[in-house]
Amino acid sequence: MPSLPLVTIVCLLACAASAAEPLPERMTFLDNGTLRIGMDLNRGGAVTFLEAAARPGNLINSYDYGRQIQMSVYSGPTPFTPHGKQPRPEWRGLGWNPIQTGDCFGRPSQVVEQRNDGKELYLRCVPMQWPLDDEPGECTFETWTMLDGASVRMRFRVTNHRTDHTQYAARSQELPAIYTIAALHRLITYSGPLPFTGAVPDEQHNDWHQPWPWTTWLASEGWSALVGDDDWGLGVFRDDGCFFNGGLYGEAGSRDPHAVPTGYLAPVETETLDHDIVYDHACLITVGTLAEIRARSVAAAVALRQAPAWLFSGPSRLHWHVDGATDAGLPLVDGWRILLGEGVPRLVSPQRCWPAAARLLTVVLTWPGPTTTGRIFWTRSDARERDAAKSLPLPLLADPAAHTYRIDLGASPEYRGLIAGLAVDPCGEPHPGSTLVLHSVALGER
């Protein structure tokens, strides 16, 4: 996680008067008789309305342009000062941060295309840079929304066309950011070691008085929910990641969609956003009882029930990122090409969960040399920090051809319970000018 708060913390503050007069709502809706969802075409097409027919009342908070259900992405530089324009001081540390609804000065993002056939709602907008006054992002956001019973299926796409071609360090992305009325104040998930067994869910807690008021957690089954005292509310699920931010800001109880207090929930992934990336993600949002939210989420889980396998070829890094180095960009052709420089490289997997029974690690990579010994690190659901105890050596052969390396991670007594991610340290020291190629990583039982 970055040390600075995510942009949507704006909803925590009583902002100064906006520089722009707010536009009236211009809504477009989908309604299947169970749910009604609405996007505001005067606010980037962000979701400003979500209601269950059985329990009337809007569940989405829209205190300012930093809330709603909306896309929000991050990259460098920090601070971001295009044409010498300066960000609002309290948001200076966020860097490059286009968001779907509008900027912190009250200027909305512009919808440039929209279609609603009653079954699917498509929107494309030019987002605004949150920390800056009237600065459109050099990118477009797209959303595809469908209703499925008591669930909302949403797909999202970021398409960058930045004039700055620098590859900045990976940053945490909200996939998406979801803000609810404060009546949905209890943050419930399953973060234990026995996913998909019906084990008792748990409640996460945050302290909204802190400078960074949210909490983070690993949702073993890929879902988390904000519910009221009666266990009814809204949940979100992703099938390719388990890491979340969220909590309650302010006092619980308000059902006013424009109140300062709010619930917040966001699946999070650490991603490199290239100057020309096309970045897709998706989620399932369910409204109902906690039992219904969990049942619909686990029924949708496919990838999270399997041991992970990553084949690096195509338009995506598969949610991996590199620290201490850069890469050759996208698409990936016959592997993920890591360009080594003055830093010590570390290749980091997404945070997702699998049982330690999947102990046989197979890594295919090309290492030009010299012959060295790297290390494989892992984290667990009960021990999310990386350390030497949770690692094993990775002997690497110097060879311009790809090699397959097999390591029994179960040989370590620390490889146990529910595993939550991997990292590959190939060389432990800088190798300026060298290129490492990671072709695939897979886990399986012996």
Domain of 175, in residue numbers: 27-304
Mean of the pLDDT values across residues 269-277? Answer: 98
* The domain boundary residue, chosen from 275, 304, 333: 304
Task: For residue range 118-135, list pLDDT tens digits in order.
Answer: 999 999 999 999 999 999
pLDDT at residue number 14 = 36
Say if residue 158 is in the same domain as residue 210: yes
Confidence (pTM)? 0.94
Which phi and psi angles does 48 have, rounded to 5°?
Answer: -115, -5
Identify the sign of the CA torsion 71, 75, 78, 81. Answer: negative
The answer to whether 193 and 174 have CB atoms below 8 angstroms apart is no
Between strands 35-40 and 47-52, the pairing is antiparallel
CATH number of domain containing 204: 2.70.98
Say if residue 134 is in the same domain as residue 202: yes
Identify the sign of the CA torsion 389, 395, 400, 403. Answer: negative
Query: Percent of the chain at pLDDT above 90?
Result: 93
Say if residue 259 is in the same domain as residue 314: no
Beta-carbon neighbour count of residue 200 at 10 Å? 7
Say if residue 278 is in the same domain as residue 372: no
Say if residue 378 is in the same domain as residue 432: yes
Say if residue 278 is in the same domain as residue 140: yes
pLDDT at residue number 369 = 85
Q: Residue 99's closest CA among 192, 421, 107?
A: 107
Which phi and psi angles does 413 have, rounded to 5°?
Answer: -65, -15
